[in-house]
């Protein structure tokens, strides 16, 4: 008897997982300084890692060049942030918002999985996890509940 593969949902496209820090006086320079990223081989040698910022926010982002899996992207951030928990705690104590955000294009029928291990590791770091979905530009509007079907 031949076994057929289980129908696997397609994953989110253009997936990124980011540590997002926001608040007054937050920018890429402050993030580089706070986490000592400028001299970090661990960070600079990681393909798909980058620091981005705008007014009042900065991110440490892992993108699809590192992995197309949210789990692997988050695990990479966790390995990097674990030894830097005192810096995370200092940011929160200073009133900054600190979270991990998984973002990507979620098409109808796509799925995103985050393992219990990654969730437990984030809980140990006391970092909330959020999800941001976007749609590709130029796509037609559709029923916002169509993904339920």
- Per DSSP, the three-state class of 98 is strand
Spatial separation of the C-alpha atoms in residues 97 and 22, rounded to whole Å: 5
CB atoms within 10 A of CB 80: 19
Residue-wise pLDDT tens for the chain (149 aa)? Answer: 444 444 466 788 888 899 999 988 887 777 777 777 666 666 666 677 888 888 888 888 888 776 778 888 899 899 888 888 998 999 999 999 999 999 998 887 888 888 999 999 999 999 999 999 877 655 555 555 555 54
Query: Within 13 Å and on the Cβ side, how many CA atoms surround 39?
Result: 3
């Amino acid at each position: 008897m031949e076994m057929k593969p289980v129908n696997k949902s397609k994953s989110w496209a253009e997936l990124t997982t980011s540590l997002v820090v926001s608040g007054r006086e937050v920018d890429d320079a402050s993030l580089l300084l706070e986490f000592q990223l400028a001299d970090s081989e661990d960070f600079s040698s990681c393909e798909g890692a980058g620091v981005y910022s705008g007014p009042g926010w900065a991110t440490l982002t892992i993108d699809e060049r590192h992995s197309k899996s949210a789990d692997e992207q988050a695990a990479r951030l966790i390995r990097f942030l674990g030894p830097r928990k005192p810096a995370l705690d200092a940011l929160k104590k200073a009133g900054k918002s600190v979270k991990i955000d998984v973002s990507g294009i979620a098409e109808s029928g796509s799925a995103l999985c985050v393992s219990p291990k990654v969730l437990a590791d984030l809980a140990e770091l006391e970092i909330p996890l959020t999800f941001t979905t976007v749609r590709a530009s130029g796509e037609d509007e559709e029923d916002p509940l169509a993904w339920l079907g």
